[in-house]
Amino acid sequence: MQLGLSVSDSDVSSFTPLVVLELADDTKAEAITWLLNRIRDKQQNGGAELLVNQLLFPAQDDQKPNPNVFVVGSTLQRLLNGAEDVGLFKEFQDGTMRGFTYANRESFNDFNEGFLSDAECQYIIKHELDTLRAKNEEHVPGYPKLKLYPGKSVVRRLQSKGVLNQYFPLHNKEDLKRLSFSWYKKFKLSFQPLDDIRHYFGEGLALYFGFLEYFTFALVPMALIGIPYYLFDWEDYDKYVLFAVFNLVWSTVFLEVWKRCSATLAYGWGTLSRKKAFEEPRAGFHGALGFNPVTGREEPVYPSSKRQLRIYLVSVPFVLLCLYLSFYVMMVYFDMEFWAINIYNEDPSIATSILLFVPSIIYAVVIEIMNLLYRFAAEFLTDWENHRLESSFQNHLVLKVLVFNFVNCFASLFYIAFVMQDMVLLRQSLATLLITSQILNQVMEAFLPYWLQRRRNKKVHKRMRRLMGDKELPLLGQVKLETEMNTYLGTFDDYLEQFLLFGYVSLFSCVYPLAAVLVVLNNITEVYSDAFKMCHVFKRPFSEPATNIGVWQLAFETMSIIAVVTNCALIGLSPQVKAYFPESDTQLILIVVAIEHVLLAFKFILAFVIPDVPKHIQVNLAKLEFDSLEAFKKRVSTHLEGVSGGLNATLSKHYSTKRIILQ
């Protein structure tokens, strides 16, 4: 940890700015003074014991700059104490990962100035700010209507009421430059620097890029098999079945091996054994004042029955209505498709053959627009449901978005495959949807944000040069630029995109074998575009400890189960299989269902046989648990001996005094 970077020439104290804190420009002076005092105050007095300084931006032509921008830092000792408070795991001298304690700091490997990464330091500061609690204040000074009560998170309260605009970690220019060079600035077919990504952005984001890399490499066998299958147009029944069966086995092995990979990464990063922190209420959560039965603190309480009524009487009908609209748009697409086919049949030509792809392209664009609009509506509804915890909010949001996206993206393909039973149209529709959605995603997620941010950067640089002249104040310019950057909203959209691509490959790649090839090419560009976005388009996000990809693991596993049913049904619909049952459709259905059940059983057996955590990590975790129990027993024994010794000494002194009195 390096100390000594001054904030401005007029600052008496100097420290490394780690986090930017921006209050509303009309915030009352009493509230600012109170908040800064609480941030600087000692821990024993209920403060965060952090360093904070104000940034003063020069006045602009017609606009007054926000005077309420602050940078927050910390001393090294405070960060180390904070590392123990948040439960960071670090590598011990024996090579195992153990919970860090300040008392045993010298027993951890590489304990020096770089012991804590920037991401960990910023996470510690965020934790200290989030857990800064009200004491005996009835309201925020200067805001009589902004009520407080003992134990309430001050920062979350200010954020929910709009007094606190934002707070975010500051980029480290030198580390960012090194990471950019090793990550995306030169094209190379190699693994990503996941440890460096984790060091700079934290475990949650590093696990996403680890999954993206793993998914891309796992698709290579599917792509290598799919290319000759597509080029030579293999229609032989045996090869068709082999490709479908390989698809089923691949989707299962892919997910099970990923569990082992993520466990290995999480153990090496110290998050696999880390206990989950107690969740605070969301900033937007509201309700009548009551008591938390776990913590005993006063906080808003909202009846679960009201939330359930909102979910089942409003949210569920809204989702069903959106699904109906999705089906309606799908039927309009089929009308357009039949219209294009009729025109081609009447006058086959190059122009009419190109026209055959127009309905699918239009439908793919409409799908992306509907997904985007539905996402905003789903976020509004989930927020309106008033979930107390962020994890509950995310789970309900993921469920809403997944259901709609699945139906919106795959319903037309299922209809073509199992109602129309037109495999030629299915292949054409899948190819068009896949290619169009990838192009749109690249434009919306990479090129458009890059172009907008580049324009914004130029404006900020010109403004700062005009105002500052030759005076060099790089921190002011950096903070000004980063406060105007877009906020990274997490890995939700990134995982959603990979989930849909996984669905295209696992569900229908036996009909369109090039699906895996297109997804590999997409993911290669995705790595570079996402890396660039994280480094130069978005504000730096706070580190989020993670042991796995969370609810998305369940989503991918559900998709793989649907893939078993879909591929078996596609095999049953193939002309080669139907030829064996010319007069008995019932017998064919029963055989396909039986094969499907056998494959599902095989899938679950395979998932059971392959352990989620590698054996050597299981041994290390068991060893750590054993050592913890032994240390606990030793502490209890020592404490009891101390109590017993003190009691014996007291009794001895008592009887000695009694003998003296009797004598």
Cα 47 from Cα 75, distance rounded (Å): 15
pLDDT in tens, 322-331: 999 999 999 9
Q: Which of 429-443, 466-480, 513-527 has the lowest mean pLDDT?
A: 466-480
Cα 158 from Cα 140, distance rounded (Å): 9
Of the two residues 597 and 324, the one the predictor is more confident about is 324
Report if residue 137 sits inside a domain. Answer: yes
What pLDDT shows up at residue 190?
64
What's the order of all strands across the beta sheet hosting 69-73? 51-55, 69-73, 19-23, 164-169
Stated length of the chain? 663
DSSP states of 358-380? HHHHHHHHHHHHHHHHHHHHHHH
The most confident of the ranges 94-98, 297-301, 310-314 is 310-314
Residue 456 has pLDDT above 70, yes or no: no
What pLDDT shows up at residue 326?
92
Q: Which two tokens stand for residue 313?
A: 């009487």
What pLDDT shows up at residue 126?
92
pLDDT averaged over every residue in the chain: 81
Give the confidence band of 237 by pLDDT, cuts at 50, 70, 90: very low
Report if residue 544 sits inside a domain. Answer: no
Cα 161 from Cα 23, distance rounded (Å): 11
Report if residue 99 sits inside a domain. Answer: yes
Report if residue 107 sits inside a domain. Answer: yes
Closest by Cα among 22, 82, 23 to 48 = 82
The most confident of the ranges 12-16, 158-162, 212-216 is 212-216
Tell me the chain's radius of gyration from C-alpha atoms: 30
Give the confidence band of 446 by pLDDT, cuts at 50, 70, 90: low
**Tally of domains within the chain:** 1
- Segment 157-168 mean pLDDT: 88
Q: Given phi > 0 = left and psi -120 to 50 = alpha, else beta, which region is 394?
A: alpha
pLDDT in tens, 32-85: 999 999 999 998 888 889 999 988 877 665 667 788 899 999 998 899 999 888
Q: Which two tokens stand for residue 555?
A: 């989503």
Residue 469 has pLDDT above 50, yes or no: no
Report if residue 136 sits inside a domain. Answer: yes
Cα 79 from Cα 85, distance rounded (Å): 10
What pLDDT shows up at residue 35?
92
DSSP state, residue 58: P
H or E segment at 79? helix 76-86
Closest by Cα among 188, 176, 201 to 536 = 176
Domain that holds residue 29: 19-170
Long-range contacts of 439-447 (CB under 8 A, 24+ apart): 440/364, 440/365, 440/368, 441/368, 441/497, 441/522, 442/522, 442/525, 442/529, 444/368, 445/493, 445/497, 445/529, 445/530, 445/533, 446/529, 446/530, 446/532, 446/533
What pLDDT shows up at residue 323?
93
What pLDDT shows up at residue 455?
64
Of the two residues 51 and 604, the one the predictor is more confident about is 51
What pLDDT shows up at residue 20?
92
pLDDT in tens, 59-73: 665 667 788 899 999
Report if residue 520 sits inside a domain. Answer: no
What pLDDT shows up at residue 417?
87
- Segment 125-142 mean pLDDT: 87
Report if residue 33 sits inside a domain. Answer: yes
Q: Which two tokens stand for residue 487?
A: 């906020």
Report if residue 55 sits inside a domain. Answer: yes
Number of other residues whose CB lies within 10 A of the CB of residue 348: 10
- Segment 601-606 mean pLDDT: 82
Residue 657 has pLDDT above 50, yes or no: no
